[in-house]
Amino acid sequence: MTIKIYGIKNCDTMKKAFNWLNEQGIQYEFHDYKKEGLSQSLVESWLKQLPPEELINKRGTTWRKLDDEVKNNLNKTTAKKIAVEHTSAIKRPLLDVDGQFYLGFKPELYAGIFNE
């Protein structure tokens, strides 16, 4: 099983996800997209499974700072552009388990993923 987690290291929700994975002894690779950036092809792969409305965090400061025209026309194309140019707008964490993507962290979600 290949597990990769995407996000920003100092995010509180990311820390909860890291703690949960570590407590379960689950090995993972971390990609800090704030430092390492994202490719358009990676974001496109996410958007094949995840709706743009779920991938982009509409509660955050980054979203609120975007132009109204962009916010009012959220689709796969605009979501890809937002995600690549404003990585902080991506909902965190984004978990990749063998090519299946999951957004956010809730202990019961992770338990379901890893105890299947």
Cα(28)–Cα(107) distance, integer angstroms: 16
- Nearest Cα neighbor of 77 from 49, 40, 103 is 40
Strand intervals (E) in the chain: 3-7, 29-32, 94-97, 100-103
Q: What is residue 56's DSSP assignment?
A: B
Active-site hit among 3, 8, 11, 70: 11
- Is 22 one of the annotated active-site residues of the chain? no
Show which residues are catalytic.
11
